[in-house]
């Protein structure tokens, strides 16, 4: 019988808790080895509710005892986690994909230590098509994101430009620009465009428009790719999780990625 790979979770918000529950329920080839969060008391209380009662471990211990680390926290926390995880030769699943932009040094570190960085598709679809299309010539990749105003609250762009989200009464364009800028301006909101850019033509050429739409009940994304292959268009309407900044598909796609790691049949690129 093949040895189970222990998985450690960094972050126990909506996504981290959902992934922990899935691992605890059973994913072939994997086992929940432990977890950590900056709010230790809350983290320990949650882990105690799981049948396997996995331990709460500091980051260093999590890296030492687990084969795979899942980052389900923030871009700022990723900056601390990634060098330590990859430096130790552990595989890393990154949900704060915007934090990967411009970090070729982390990719080099993974190569040097023979480990891998995985990025789930998150709250988006069509990345298989984007990767396939990008083998040939791609002329443009654009994305439109629509969220209820509360889903953008607290973003650096909103704070910097003193945008009163409560005063918005109709669909309003909040931001337009390349993925590079969008991921800095909205680090907790548009990791989807980071994944899109990494799968395709890069963050500087991938463009996004972000709209605030009062009364909107689902986060909406529209992706359009054009190139020598033709034209591909994908539209999604995602049900928000308990955290309005992210959709349920974010954690579902992470669970799907983990299931794929131990699967005998892998579908898609």
Catalytic residues: 221
Q: Which of 19, 3, 21, 7 is nearest to 66 (CA)?
A: 7
Q: Which of 249, 169, 158, 162 is nearest to 214 (CA)?
A: 169
Token pair in block for residue 156: 């650096």
Token pair in block for residue 45: 């209380």
Q: Which residues share a beta bridge with 146?
A: 211, 220
Q: How far apart are CA 53 and CA 50, in angstroms?
A: 5
Token pair in block for residue 2: 């093949």
Q: How far apart are CA 65 and CA 33, in angstroms?
A: 7
What values do phi and psi take at 182, rounded to 5?
-60, -40
Q: How far apart are CA 194 and CA 122, in angstroms?
A: 10
CB 205 within 8 A of CB 139: no
CB 165 within 8 A of CB 158: yes
What values do phi and psi take at 257, rounded to 5?
-60, -45
Q: How far apart are CA 234 and CA 188, in angstroms?
A: 22
Look-up: residue for tokens 């891998």?
A: 116
Q: SS3 breakdown of the chain: % helix, strand, coil, rounded to 5? A: 40, 25, 35
């Amino acid at each position: 019988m093949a040895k189970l790979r222990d998985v450690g979770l960094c972050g126990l918000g909506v996504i981290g808790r959902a992934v922990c529950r899935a691992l605890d329920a059973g994913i072939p080839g994997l086992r929940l080895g432990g977890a950590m969060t900056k709010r230790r008391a809350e983290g320990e209380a949650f882990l105690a509710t799981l049948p396997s009662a996995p331990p709460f471990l500091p980051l260093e211990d999590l890296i030492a005892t687990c084969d795979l680390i899942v980052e389900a926290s923030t871009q700022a926390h990723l900056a601390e986690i990634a060098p330590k995880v990859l430096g130790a030769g552990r595989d890393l699943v990154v949900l704060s994909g915007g934090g990967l932009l411009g970090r070729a040094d982390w990719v080099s570190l993974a190569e040097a230590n023979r480990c891998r960085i995985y990025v789930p598709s998150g709250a988006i679809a069509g990345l298989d098509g984007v990767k396939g299309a990008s083998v040939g010539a791609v002329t443009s990749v654009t994305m439109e994101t629509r969220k209820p105003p509360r889903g953008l609250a607290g973003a650096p762009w909103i704070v910097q430009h003193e945008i009163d989200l409560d005063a918005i009464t109709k669909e309003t364009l909040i931001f337009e620009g390349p993925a590079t800028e969008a991921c800095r301006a909205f680090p907790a909101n548009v990791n989807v465009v980071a994944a899109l850019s990494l799968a395709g033509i890069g963050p500087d050429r991938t463009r996004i428009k972000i709209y605030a739409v009062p009364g909107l009940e689902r986060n909406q994304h529209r992706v359009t790719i054009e190139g020598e292959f033709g034209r591909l268009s994908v539209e999604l309407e995602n049900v928000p999780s308990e955290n309005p900044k992210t959709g349920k598909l974010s954690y579902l796609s992470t669970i799907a990625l983990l299931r794929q790691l131990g699967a005998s049949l892998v579908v898609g690129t």
